[in-house]
């Protein structure tokens, strides 16, 4: 397995990490591994943007929209 060293870690961030690890009953090192697994370990979504937006809002339901009837295009102006 590989190792990683993180330098210049803010003391406040380290304290928050220590508290989070304690809440989950893990060491700080194991907590960092879990954070990395969850954030980096995910495979990127293959859905296109439209599909992603649809999935996000599908649970809210749709909306019925009355479309006006289509009419033929007007003739362009003539400049003869």
pLDDT for 52-71, tens place per residue?
888 888 888 878 889 999 99
DSSP one-letter code for 59: G
State the distance between the two ends of the chain, measured CA to CA, in whole angstroms. 81
pTM of the predicted protein model: 0.52
pLDDT for 10-31, tens place per residue?
999 999 999 999 999 999 999 9
Predicted pLDDT of residue 44 = 65
């Amino acid at each position: 397995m590989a190792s990683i060293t993180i330098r210049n870690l803010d003391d406040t961030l380290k304290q928050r990490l220590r508290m989070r690890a304690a809440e989950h009953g893990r060491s700080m090192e194991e907590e960092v591994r879990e954070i990395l697994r969850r954030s980096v370990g995910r495979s990127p979504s293959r859905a296109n943007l439209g599909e992603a937006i649809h999935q996000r809002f599908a649970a809210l339901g749709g909306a019925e929209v009355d479309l006006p009837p289509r009419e033929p295009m007007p003739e362009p102006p003539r400049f003869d």
